[in-house]
Amino acid sequence: MLLSIIASGDVLGWKETEISRDVPLPRKIEIVPPSADCPKEIAAFSGRWEGIWEGGRRQSKSVLIVEEINSEGAKVVYGWSGYYNVKADYQRHKAKVIPGGIIQFSGPHSDYSFKMDEDLKTIHGTSKHRKSPGDPATITMKKVEE
């Protein structure tokens, strides 16, 4: 089963939130449910996550959408609100999946890592800017149920 979501308002279950209102996302998002044999701490990443970065070089609203995931990798959409001289935007990434419930990917300037919480509804992330890796930002993201 393939779920298509148009990320503009309340279409096919997409609920706009205070965070997603400020974060641009692609018009078409396809979430493919993980296979039944995918470990629960990995499968739980599937879907939409939202939060606000703290510390580091920025404090921006962010949305992480895990479109596909299995034990080896994931396809994700990562969007952010504007901060400092960086405009709001999004990017698609191929993420690495690490046993125990961690996904990692790299953007043009930062490396991201997200760890699944035991409740399977919260992820904790870090962003390390490659020019100042000693000043990481952290985020706690909650799953948005569609």
- List, in order, residues 6 or more apart from 86 with CB less than 8 Å away: 58, 60, 80
- Please check whether residue 52 is in contact with residue 139, taking contact to mean a CB–CB distance below 8 angstroms: yes
- Please check whether residue 33 is in contact with residue 44, taking contact to mean a CB–CB distance below 8 angstroms: no
CA distances to 57, 127, 137 from 134, rounded to whole Å, are 11, 11, 10
Condensed to tens digits (0 to 9), the pLDDT of residues 63-88 reads 999 999 999 999 999 999 987 777 89
- Please check whether residue 66 is in contact with residue 92, taking contact to mean a CB–CB distance below 8 angstroms: no
Taking 50 as the threshold, does the pLDDT of residue 6 lie above it?
no
Q: Which residue has the higher pLDDT, 11 or 14?
A: 14
pLDDT the model gives residue 133 = 66
DSSP state letters, 35-66:
PTTS-HHHHTT-EEEEEE-BSTT---EEEEEE
Distance CA 128, CA 35 (A): 31
pLDDT the model gives residue 18 = 87
Task: Report, in angstroms and rounded to the nearest whole number, the Rg of the chain calculated over CA atoms.
Answer: 14
Condensed to tens digits (0 to 9), the pLDDT of residues 50-65 reads 999 987 656 789 999 9
Percent of the chain having pLDDT more than 70?
88
- E-strand stretches of the chain: 3-6, 28-31, 47-52, 61-69, 73-80, 89-98, 102-106, 110-116, 122-129, 137-144
